[in-house]
Amino acid sequence: MHDSSGAPKNPAAAGVLVSAKALDVALPDMAAKPVFGRAPLIRIINGIDLDIARGSVLGIVGGSGSGKSTLGRALLRLIEPAAGTIEFDGLDITRLGEDALRPVRRRMQMIFQDPMSSLNPRRRVGAIIADPMQMHGFDRIDGRIDDALDHVGLPRGFRSRYPHELSGGQRQRVGIARAIALEPEFILADEIVSGLDVSSQAQVLNVLAGLVGELGLTLAFISHDLSVIRRICDQVMVLQRGSIVEYGDVDRVFDAPQAAYTRELLDAIPLPDPQQANW
Ligand SMILES: Nc1ncnc2c1ncn2[C@@H]1O[C@H](COP(=O)(O)OP(=O)(O)OP(=O)(O)O)[C@@H](O)[C@H]1O
Ligand SMILES: [Mg+2]
């Protein structure tokens, strides 16, 4: 999080947590797949260099199809990179096998765009939050479920509800609770408020922004919404066709964008509605 001075919010926890160097991601181009044989690979992400400082929030913006989700998923080793390196807390995880990755996986979590599809509709909230903790061998799971619900501002009684018994914003807070229950250091949030109405968006963002400070989280925050990026990010990366067109401190990029594409994105921001600008 940034304040008006631009100083890191938590200077004591300085240092880079997530780093990528010359990262390329290629995926099979199914449209060009021959009837027999493999689809040719197309490059989705080109030569990305990034450093996310511990305790900071990196915004990733760009048009639809620019590669934001692909980059995020590659950082979490959910997609294999074609070239380049990814480091997490100084450890090169680019080629780590699943066994070696397992402890790292707990430390990097993801919150998804659509909680209705990412939360199992047949599990109660308590079980949804408990499942990954069980998988990672946590103790005191019951108390941790309550703590996680407290952190996201949901009543503890919600543990017995099903996802369909919650509002969209409450569901998204369950997604956040499930992620933070694992005590991760890094969270990737991919368009997590884009399906919500404006007031639920504000609530979910306030919860997340609060947790970043409180728990010292490091966040990569993918969003179409540049006003949200400015509100919660320290740095911003602008992607176009899988390449970085601009990357820097959020205030610098918003106040003095260098790339024509960034200026286009900024010009497209609707003027804020003062009625709704309550955060
Ligand atoms: N599994 C896949 N196989 C092949 N191509 C893919 C795959 N997933 C994404 N792509 C392509 O990669 C490019 C980047 O997709 P990605 O989902 O990363 O974009 P995005 O910036 O997240 O877009 P959006 O804002 O719409 O979510 C797109 O051209 C997309 O069609
Ligand atoms: Mg996406």
Tens digits of per-residue pLDDT, 24-74? 999 988 888 888 888 889 999 999 999 999 999 999 999 999 999 999 999
Higher pLDDT, 260 or 117: 260
Which of 43, 66, 78, 113 to mutate to test ligand 1, by most ligand atoms within 8 A of the CB atom?
66
Which residue's structure tokens are 């903790």?
133
Looking from the CA of residue 62, the nearest atom of ligand 1 is 21
- The reply to whether 142 falls in a domain is no
User: pLDDT confidence of 272, banded at 50, 70, 90?
Assistant: low
pLDDT for the residue numbered 211: 94
pLDDT in tens, 72-127: 999 999 999 999 999 999 999 999 999 999 999 999 999 988 877 889 999 999 99
Task: Give distance in angstroms: CA of 161 to centre of ligand 1.
Answer: 34
Please state the rounded mean pLDDT for residues 129-156: 97
Looking from the CA of residue 191, the nearest atom of ligand 1 is 27
Q: How far apart are CA 226 and CA 80, in angstroms?
A: 29
**CA 74, 78, 79, 84 torsion-angle sign:** positive
> Count H helices, E strands: the chain?
10, 10
- The reply to whether 80 falls in a domain is yes
- Count Cα neighbours of 113 within 13 Å in the Cβ-side half-sphere: 10
CATH number at residue 71: 3.40.50.300
- The reply to whether 109 falls in a domain is yes
Atom 29 in ligand 1: which residue has the minimum CA distance? Answer: 65
pLDDT for the residue numbered 273: 55
- The reply to whether 240 falls in a domain is yes
DSSP 8-class letter at 274:
T
**8 A C-beta contact, residue 87 and residue 18:** yes
Domain containing 192 equals 15-32+39-119+185-267
pTM here?
0.89
Nearest listed ligand to the Cα of residue 64 = 1
Atom 2 in ligand 1: which residue has the minimum CA distance? Answer: 27
Task: Give distance in angstroms: CA of 59 to centre of ligand 1.
Answer: 18
State how far Cα 244 lies from the chain centre: 18
- The reply to whether 91 falls in a domain is yes
Nearest listed ligand to the Cα of residue 27 = 1
pLDDT in tens, 153-169: 999 999 999 999 999 99
User: pLDDT confidence of 276, banded at 50, 70, 90?
Assistant: low
Which of 30, 66, 70 to mutate to test ligand 1, by most ligand atoms within 8 A of the CB atom?
70
- Count Cα neighbours of 133 within 13 Å in the Cβ-side half-sphere: 22
pLDDT at residue 8 greater than cutoff 50? no
pLDDT in tens, 182-230: 999 999 999 999 888 989 999 999 999 999 999 999 999 999 889 899 9
Q: What is the domain count for the chain? A: 1
pLDDT for the residue numbered 113: 85
Strands 57-61 and 218-222: parallel
- The reply to whether 132 falls in a domain is no
- The reply to whether 156 falls in a domain is no
pLDDT at residue 275 greater than cutoff 70? no
pLDDT for the residue numbered 4: 42
Nearest listed ligand to the Cα of residue 61 = 1
Pocket of ligand 1 (CB under 6 A): 27-28, 44, 62, 64-70
